[in-house]
Every structure is written in C-alpha cells, then in structure tokens.
Amino acid sequence: MNSLLIPENILVEKSVIESQLVRNIRRNLRGCKMHVVDHLDGAQNLEAEESGKVIEVIDFRGQFLKPCPGTRNYICCGYRILHFGEQCSIGCNYCILQAYFSSGRLRLFANWDRMLSEVESILRKNPDRYFRIGTGEFTDSLLLDPVTEFSRLVVPFFARFRNSILELKTKTDHIDNLKKLDHGGRTIVAWSMNSPAVAAKYEGLAVPLEKRIECAKLCLKWGYRVAFHFDPMIFYDGWEKDYRKAVDLIFKNISPEKIVWISLGCFRFMPPLKGIIEKRYRNAELIYGEFISGIDGKMRYFKDIRITMYKKMVKWIHEYNPEVCVYLCMESPEIWKAAFGFNPLEKGGLPAILDLAAKSKCGD
Ligand code: SF4
C-alpha cells in the first residue's frame, strides 16, 4: 500500500470502539493514533491535520443500500450503492467527491452487522428482482481494504445470494484480501481506466494502467469476474491515439469473454467543482474544454464531441469482440442512438441489458 495512503489519525465514535472494523484497523495500523470521541459531528480538529491522513469511524444511522443518484432525462443503469464509507485520498483532479462532501476526511461506517442485515432483508424480500450493487460511488472500493479488510466481509456475504452481484470498483492494486475468498462467482472486480496521459496527469496516487490490468489478470486467475470503466473520458488533442492504447492494453491482456461490462462516460461536473479544481490544481486545463450545461445542470462536452468519443470507443472495443457489453453512464437516448445505433429502451431498458450481462457472466 502506498505510504501516502496510510492514515495516521483515527477518530472513532465510542459506540463502535469494539466493532470488527476498529479491531481490524488496530491490527493493521499499529502505528496510528486512535482518538475516541462521543459523537463525530465534523467539528473535531486535529493538530497538523491532513484530510487524507484522518479517518473517521462512525456508527452510521442512515440507509446503507441506496439507488445510484441517477439524473432525470438521462438513461440510468439502475445500480444500487452499498454505502460503506465516504471520500477518497487517491486525489484524482477531476473527482466529483471534492464537491460532493464538505469534509475531505475519509469516513467509514463501523456498524457492519446492521449493514448486512439491511441488505439481506432487501435481497430476501425481493427474490424475483436482480440487484447490481457497487461500493465504489462515494469512495474507492478497495482504497483502505488492506486496513479495513472490508472485502473479507462483503465478498463471501454476496456469494450467498443468487439475486445479486457485487461490484468492487477501484484504481488501486489492493487485491490481496480477495485472493482466498469464497466469492461464488458473484463479485466483479472493476478498474477505472483512462488514457495513459490522463492517468499520469490527473489521477493522483492511482496505480498505473498496466498495474490495474495486472491486478485484473490476477483476479481472473482467482475466479473473479472483471469489468472496466472509462469514466470520465477527457477530450484533448491526441485523445484518440491515447484512448485507443488503453483499449488495446485491456484486450491484449484480458480475454473479452471474461469482461462483464465496460462503461463509458465523458467528463461532466456540477459547476461548483470548477472553482474547487481551479483552486486546488495548477494544471486544471481539464475544466476549460467546450462545455455546455445539461438538463440536470451538469456541465458536459458538446454533443458532437461526446458522440465522436463514444462511437470510436465502441468501435475499438467491438473490433476486439462485438459481444462485449458496453454502456454509457448517464447519457440521453439521443446520444445512445448516435453512438450505438439504438436506444436501450428498444432492448428492454439499460437495467435489463446489464442484468443480462451480469447473469450470463456470473451465473443466474
Ligand atoms: S479514485 Fe475515484 S473516488 Fe478516489 S479520487 Fe479518484 S475519482 Fe475520486
């Protein structure tokens, strides 16, 4: 684990001091300082604080399983988020979480028993529904896994249910805990991919693309399913050559039959993120592209740029294998039609398409 990602100070709510999560942190981070507080309200200050170096461990009171915050008028994939923690210290310049959370501190939820019983109850009450569940929306799924061992809890848990799959989405190489787990074929390990230039310039402490692919190969060896996400794709001079290289890197190493899906999404952001990026990073060119405000208020590249990028990516991927499931994240039916030649509604809707892809690769 990159030493810059290792937390130094842990703030723990008193009610979860005996939790499995805190025990794991103590065991794996012997040098860290643990501070116990009655209740964490965000006001606790630590000397020489550096956000990424502080973890807050709390007794979470909210709903653990939530629908992905899709946007009206765009086609949503019907994903569900297992909300196990918040924030990320990898430091991608474009990361939307910078605007999403007011605090830069990592926050982990320690009441795992309630988390699992909530999920179990939903899965059991809806045996005829299929749940695609991910943990990588409000943080990176494996960022702190060497410390928390969260994967050891959830991977075997999801192996027990036939009406769900778990997707762990990451830009790290923190896969060691996955090696010997009983996953039952129901966990997909996914890497966010980008062009080599974008990864090197904007993706902070993320591991290089080659390392992500090496990890994907190992996960395949251990029987996991894999997926890739090109999101956000950044438009710049020379993007075609670079993104093509990233597609080649995947298919030169991974057999297409083993890939559950590949998603594509062009860079988009709520306007407040622009100021944050400008202030935080000197090389902020990524926010000065040709953007237009979408119906959801997010800034997006002009349609023709998005269509061109998607069309080419789909073409390059399908040249390797036309059967690979490729989908767009939060795009309009018009863009779908232009990029793929069809609107997902003509094929039963995007959730149905992805359910089918998951079932065919992970078992029904
Ligand atoms: S890895 Fe994901 S969550 Fe973490 S900073 Fe990068 S974009 Fe944000």
Task: Give the predicted TM-score (pTM) of the model.
Answer: 0.95
Check pocket membership of 215 for ligand 1, CB cut-off 6 A: no
321-348: per-residue pLDDT in tens? 999 999 998 898 999 999 999 999 999 9
The span from the CA of 177 to the CA of 40, in Å, is 29
Taking the centre of ligand 1 as the mean of its atom positions, its distance from the CA of residue 170, in whole angstroms, is: 8
The confidence band for 42, taking pLDDT boundaries of 50, 70 and 90, is low
Q: What is the pLDDT of residue 290?
A: 84
The span from the CA of 258 to the CA of 273, in Å, is 36
Over residues 124-137, mean pLDDT: 94
Does a structural domain hold residue 83?
yes
Top mutation candidate among 84, 92, 229 for ligand 1, by most atoms within 8 Å of CB:
92
Residues 6 or more apart whose CB falls under 8 angstroms from that of 106 comprise 7, 51, 52, 54, 55, 56, 85, 86, 87, 88, 89, 139, 143, 144
The confidence band for 51, taking pLDDT boundaries of 50, 70 and 90, is low
Q: Which of ligand 1's atoms lies nearest the C-alpha of 138?
A: 3
Does a structural domain hold residue 185?
yes
Check pocket membership of 88 for ligand 1, CB cut-off 6 A: yes
300-313: per-residue pLDDT in tens? 999 999 999 999 99
Q: Give residue 291's domain range.
A: 60-362
Does a structural domain hold residue 28?
no
Top mutation candidate among 135, 169, 171 for ligand 1, by most atoms within 8 Å of CB:
171
Does a structural domain hold residue 43?
no
Does a structural domain hold residue 20?
no
Taking the centre of ligand 1 as the mean of its atom positions, its distance from the CA of residue 154, in whole angstroms, is: 21
Domain count, the chain: 1
Lowest mean pLDDT segment, chosen from 16-25, 31-40, 48-57, 257-266 = 48-57
Q: Which of ligand 1's atoms lies nearest the C-alpha of 97?
A: 8
The CATH number given to whatever domain includes residue 139 is 3.80.30.30
Does a structural domain hold residue 31?
no
Residues 6 or more apart whose CB falls under 8 angstroms from that of 43 comprise none
Top mutation candidate among 94, 95, 231 for ligand 1, by most atoms within 8 Å of CB:
95
Does a structural domain hold residue 64?
yes
Q: Which of ligand 1's atoms lies nearest the C-alpha of 136?
A: 3
Taking the centre of ligand 1 as the mean of its atom positions, its distance from the CA of residue 140, in whole angstroms, is: 6
Taking the centre of ligand 1 as the mean of its atom positions, its distance from the CA of residue 93, in whole angstroms, is: 9
Does a structural domain hold residue 50?
no
Residue 174 phi/psi, 5° resolution?
-85, 70
